[in-house]
Structure 1
Amino acid sequence: MQHSSKLNAVESIRGLACLAVVFSHLSLSFYPYLHHFDDHDQATNALVYWIHHSPFTFWYSGTAAVYVFFVLSGFILSYVIGNSRVPKQKIKSMLIKRYPRLAIPALISCILLWAALYFSDIDSSQVQYWLQVLAQQNSSFGQAIYEGTIGSFLFAESSVNWVLWTMQVELIGSVVLFALLYLKQYSSGLFLTLVLMFPLSFALFKNMDLYLGLISFLLGSLIFFYGRRIASNAWAWLLLALGLYLAGAHNSSLAYQGIYQFLGDKTYDYCNFISGSLIVYSILMSPLLSRMLDRPVFVYLGKLSFSVYLLHLMLLYIVCLPVFNYCVQHGFNYDSAFMVASLVFLVAILICSDIYSRVVDRFAIFISNKLAQYWAGA
C-alpha cells in the first residue's frame, strides 16, 4: 500500500470521526433519547426510538470517535518517528512541539466560546437540557484562560469548552508514547514489554477516560509497528462492521442487550473503547478500505477536523440555536426547524473551521516549529 494512501486514509478517518462528534452533540441538544443517557429522556417519535434501539448508531457516537482520535494519534506519531532517519532528535523535537501545537488552538477556542456566551443571551427554552446547560453556563474569562492552557491539559477540566477534556489524553498520551519510543531506539523488546504491561496499571488511575485513552494511544502505535496487512477484503469488511457495531453501543439499546448481560453498565464505555482500534485497524491495514477513504472531500474534512472539534460548540450556540429559534417562531415544526438549523450550522462549521485552520492552526504550527528549532535545533 502506498504511504500517501494510508496517510490520506488517516485524515479521512479523523474527519469522519469529527463529524460523529458533531452529530452526537446535535442529538443531545435536540433528540437526547438517541443516546438515552438519562432515564427521563423520552422518544419524541417512532424514528428516534427505532434509531436508538438499532445497531446503526455509530454515526453519532462521539465517544467512539474520540477513541478513534486517540488511536490515530498514537499511529501517526509512531509513523513520523518510525520513518525518521534521526528518531531520537525527532522525538525531542516533537515533544517540544506538542503542547503549543495543541494549546494555542485550544486556548483561542475557549476564549471565543466564553466571549460568545458572555456577550450574548440567546433563548434556549425551545431546545433540550444539554444545550440549555451550555447556553446558560456562567464562566469567567480567567476560567477560560486557565482551562485553555492548564486545566484541560493536566486535569481534564473543561467547564467552558466541554470537548477540551480530550486534551489531557492527547498531551499525556504523547509524552508517554515519546518516552516509550525513545526506549525503543535501544530495545524493541523492552518497548513491546512495557506497552503490553501498561494495561496492568489500571489501579493507578482514578480517571477511566484517561486510562482507556492512553491504552488507545499505545494501540495506535502497535498498529503501526506490528499491524499486518489484511489480505482478505471480506475480513476487512467484517472487522470494520464489528467496530462500527460496537461504536453504536448504548446501555439501554435493545441491539446491545446481549453484551449488556456480560458487561452491565460498562457496556457503553468498553464497547466504544474497543471500537476505536477495530475501526482504525480494519481501514489502515486494508488496501481496499484505505483506497476507498482516500478521497479529496474526506481528506479535506480531516485537515479541518481539529478546528471543527474545537469550534463546534460555539457555533452550536451562536448559529444553530438562533436559527432554530427563528424557524420555530415562523411556524416550522420542531423536526423541520431542527433540519434547517442543522444544515446552516454544518455550513457555518465548514466555513469557520477552514478560516480557523488557515489562521490559528497555521500560527500554532509556526510557533511550535520555531520553539523546536530553538530548543532542539530541528
Structure 2
Amino acid sequence: MQKANKTHPSSYSKERTRGHSTTPTAGQGSHSITLDGVRGLAAISVIFSHVFLLYYSEIHYGLADGAPSTLALSIFNSPVTFFYRGGAAVLLFFLLSGYVLCSACIKKAPLDDNYVSMAASKRYLRLGLPVAAAVLIGYLGIVFNAFPSAPAGINNFLDFPDQGLGFAQMLKSALYGSMLLGDGNFDYVLWTISIEFYGSLLVFAHFALTRKNRMLSIRLCMVLACFLLFMPKAYSLYSLFFFGAALAQVDFAAIRRLPARRVALLTVPLLLSGCYLIGFYATSASYRWLEPVTAGYQFLAPHADPSIVYPALGALCILVSILAGAGRTRLAEPGPGAKLLAWVGKLSFSVYLLHPFMLATAGKYIFLEMGKNMYSLLVCLVVVFSGTYFFSYFFYKHVDRPSMKIADKFGKRLFMAERTA
C-alpha cells in the first residue's frame, strides 16, 4: 500500500462503531446505509428478545415453569427465530465493529502514522462515557424507586435491578467495572461492553502489526477467528472481531460489478442461510439435523459452544451478503427508507443501553397490571419500543454524540502533545 502525504489528524472524521452510523458518501452510498440498517435492526432484535423473555421464556428455552404458550413453542421450533435472537444480534454487533474499525484504519492510517494509536487511545472514553451515563441512570432509578417491585417467584427477569445496590457500587461500575469487567448490575446489557472494548483493541493491534502485508493480515485474521470460534464462550466471542477485520480487507467490488442476477444468486442464499443460522437453538426442531455436525466438531473441540458457532457463522453470512450485494448504485440523495435505516443505526447504541430501563419500569408495570397474555405483550412492545426510541434520541444528542467529540479531541490532543514534546 502506497504511503500518501501526511495530513493533520483533525482533518479526519471519526470512525463509527457499534451503535454509531457510518455517514454515506458518494462512494459508499447504499453500502454504508445498509450497514447502519443492520446495526439498527440488531438493536431492535435485542428488544424483542428481552420483552419475549419477560412474557414467554419458552420462546427462548423451549420449556416453561408453568403452562407453556403453544404459539411461543411453535415459533421456537420454527426456522424464523432470527428476529428476536438477541444474543446472536450481539454477535452481529461485534462482527460489524471489527469490520468498521479495520475499514477506518485501512482508509486513514496511510495518511497518518499515528491514526491507529490515536483511535485506540480514545476508545475507552468513546464507549465509557455513554456506559457511565447508563449506569448512573440505573442507580438513579433505584434511588428514586422507579422500578416497580414484583412478587417473588413470578419471573426472575422481574428482579432487575437489585434494589440493594449503592453509590460505591455505582461509582465502581461507571468508572471501570462495566468497561473492564463486564459488570451488568445496573444495566444487564453491559456484560458485552468489556468484550467490545477488548475486541476493538485486538483489531487495532492486529492492524498495526500486519498493515504492510494485506494477504498476511487476511490469513492471520481468518486463522485467529477460526481458532477462537471453537474455544469456550469467553474466548469465542472475540472471533467475530477478527472475521470482521478480515472482511474489511477483502475487495468485494469485483462481485458487485457482476450482472445483478448473478449477484442475487450469491447474496440471497447467503442472506437466507445467515438468518437461519443466526436463529439457532440447540433444542429447536428446526435445527436438530445439525446435531451430527455439532457432535463432529465437538469431538475435535469439546469446549466449542454451538450457541456461538452457528449464530457467528450466520452473522458472517449476513455481512458477506451485504458487502457483496450492497453499493451497486450510488445514492445522490437518500430516500425516506434509507434515511430511516440511517436513523435507527445512529440511535442503536443508545437504544441498546436504554431499553432495559424502559422494560424494567413501564414494561414491568404493564406486565404486573395486565398479566401474562397476548394483549399485554402487544401493549408492552408498543410502549417499550416507543419509549426507548424517544429517550434514545435525547441520550444520543446529549450523551452519545458528545462522547464521540470528547473522545476525538482527547485522542488528537494526546498525539498533538507528543508531536510538540
Q: Structure 1-normalised TM-score?
A: 0.89
Aligned residue pairs total 371
- 2:197 partner letter: L
For residue 77 of structure 1, what is the aligned residue in structure 2? Answer: 101
Question: Within 5 A, what are the aligned runs for 1:16-31?
Answer: 16-31=41-56
Q: Distance in 2 between matches of 1:218 and 1:202?
A: 9
Decide whether aligned partners of structure 1 residues 130 and 289 sit closer, same or farther in structure 2, where only a CA change above 3 A counts: farther
For residue 323 of structure 2, what is the aligned residue in structure 1? Answer: 284
The runs of 4+ residues in structure 1 deviating greater than 4 Å are 39-43, 199-205, 288-294
For residue 5 of structure 1, what is the aligned residue in structure 2? Answer: 30
- State the 1:227 CA deviation: 4.9
Instruction: Tell me, yes or no, if the aligned pair for 1:29 and 1:127 is still in contact at 8 Å.
Output: no
Q: 2:360 aligns with which of 292, 306, 317?
A: 317
For residue 44 of structure 1, what is the aligned residue in structure 2? Answer: 68
Q: Distance in 2 between matches of 1:93 and 1:70?
A: 21
Matched, 1:224 2:248: yes
For residue 212 of structure 2, what is the aligned residue in structure 1? Answer: 186
For residue 348 of structure 2, what is the aligned residue in structure 1? Answer: 305
- State the 1:200 CA deviation: 7.2
For residue 68 of structure 1, what is the aligned residue in structure 2? Answer: 92
- State the 1:179 CA deviation: 1.3
For residue 183 of structure 2, what is the aligned residue in structure 1? Answer: 157
Unpaired segments ≥5 residues, structure 2: 1-25, 296-303
- State the 1:149 CA deviation: 2.9
**Structure number having the greater helix percentage:** 1
For residue 256 of structure 1, what is the aligned residue in structure 2? Answer: 287
Q: Distance in 2 between matches of 1:323 and 1:66?
A: 27
Q: Distance in 2 between matches of 1:294 and 1:183?
A: 40
> If you compute each CA radius of gyration, which structure gives the higher value, 1 or 2?
2
- 1:263 partner letter: T
Instruction: Tell me, yes or no, if the aligned pair for 1:183 and 1:190 is still in contact at 8 Å.
Output: no
Decide whether aligned partners of structure 1 residues 153 and 136 sit closer, same or farther in structure 2, where only a CA change above 3 A counts: closer
Deviations 1:263-314 (A, max 9, x none): 2693322211211111111112213799999721121001000000011111
Q: Is 189-198 or 341-350 further displaced after alignment? A: 189-198
Q: Distance in 1 between matches of 2:377 and 2:290?
A: 33
- 2:386 partner letter: V
Deviations 1:67-113 (A, max 9, x none): 11011111111221211242532212211221101000011101111
Instruction: Tell me, yes or no, if the aligned pair for 1:237 and 1:282 is still in contact at 8 Å.
Output: yes
Q: Distance in 2 between matches of 1:340 and 1:174?
A: 38
* SS of 2:239 mapped into structure 1: helix
Q: 1:96 aligns with which of 104, 114, 121?
A: 121
- 2:285 partner letter: L
Q: 1:174 aligns with which of 191, 197, 200?
A: 200
Deviations 1:212-266 (A, max 9, x none): 2221111111112115336420220100101100111112110011113432693
What is the alpha-carbon root mean square deviation over aligned residues? 2.8
Instruction: Tell me, yes or no, if the aligned pair for 2:99 and 2:241 is still in contact at 8 Å.
Output: yes
For residue 172 of structure 2, what is the aligned residue in structure 1? Answer: 146
Matched, 1:369 2:369: no
Q: Distance in 2 between matches of 1:289 and 1:53?
A: 36
- State the 1:136 CA deviation: 4.7
Matched, 1:241 2:272: yes
Q: Distance in 2 between matches of 1:78 and 1:199?
A: 15
Q: Is 12-21 or 362-371 further displaced after alignment? A: 362-371
- State the 1:182 CA deviation: 1.4
